[in-house]
């Protein structure tokens, strides 16, 4: 029966905890399983692997976010960020941010002012994921810099 005064309890109160336990079954509390670790060394943190519905034990970059350039009615160029995410990740916050200089990032949620992005579409892929497209409301002017990124953070509970 083992040691009578010892027991192991696994608490999986958030979807990320369940994912961590199934993805790192040998040691779900080990250093390789923490949010900022990169278990297989592909340059994608475990938290981002979870957020993008990737396998943290396989070097995969096939479903990483992509950026395309579209023209508006006036011929101005705008960036569109497309990413795939798990539908049931209610323990994460997905924020699309834009910048002109890689130092000062803006998002719709930053409380500074007007919206800077617009969600164009959200498509259910039928496999527990959805594909989201987000449009940068400001044009990428000629001879200027414009950047867009996906920021993923844990919901503080």
pLDDT over 70 (residue 114) = yes
Contact present, 7 and 13 (Cβ < 8 Å): no
In the chain, list all ranges with CATH 2.60.40: 66-154
Consecutive H or E run containing 46: helix 46-51
Question: Residue 145's pLDDT band (boundaries 50, 70, 90)?
Answer: confident
Burial track 92-120 (b if 16+ CB lie within 10 A, e otherwise):
beebbbbbeeeeebbbbeeeeeeebbeee
CA 41 to mean position of chain CA atoms: 18
When pLDDT is averaged across residues 124-148 and rounded to a whole number, the result is 89
- Residue of 22, 28, 119, 140 whose CA lies nearest to 76: 140
Look up tokens 């959805």; give the residue.
130
Q: Which residues pair with 119 in a beta bridge?
A: 134
In the chain, the percentage of residues whose pLDDT exceeds 90 is 43
C-beta separation of 60 from 42 below 8 A: yes
Cα distance between residue 27 and residue 38, in whole Å: 14
The phi, psi pair for 81, rounded to 5°, reads: -95, 125
Q: In this structure, which topology does domain 66-154 adopt according to CATH? A: Immunoglobulin-like (2.60.40)
Residues 5-53 pLDDT 10s: 665 655 556 788 888 888 888 888 888 888 999 988 899 999 999 899 8
The pTM for the full model equals: 0.82
């Amino acid at each position: 029966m083992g040691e009578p005064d010892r027991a192991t309890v696994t608490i999986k109160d958030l979807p990320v905890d369940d994912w961590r336990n199934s993805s790192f079954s040998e040691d779900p509390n080990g250093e390789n399983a923490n949010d900022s670790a990169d278990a297989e060394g592909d340059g994608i943190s475990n938290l981002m692997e979870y957020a993008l519905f990737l396998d943290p034990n396989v070097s995969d970059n096939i479903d990483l976010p992509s950026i395309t350039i579209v023209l508006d009615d006036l011929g101005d160029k705008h960036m569109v960020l497309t990413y795939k995410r798990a539908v049931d990740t209610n323990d994460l916050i997905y924020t699309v941010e834009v910048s002109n200089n890689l130092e000062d990032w803006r998002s719709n949620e930053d409380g500074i002012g007007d919206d800077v992005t617009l969600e164009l579409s959200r498509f259910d892929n039928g496999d527990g994921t959805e594909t989201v497209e987000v449009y940068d409301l400001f044009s990428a002017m000629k001879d200027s810099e414009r950047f867009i990124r996906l920021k993923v953070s844990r919901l503080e509970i």
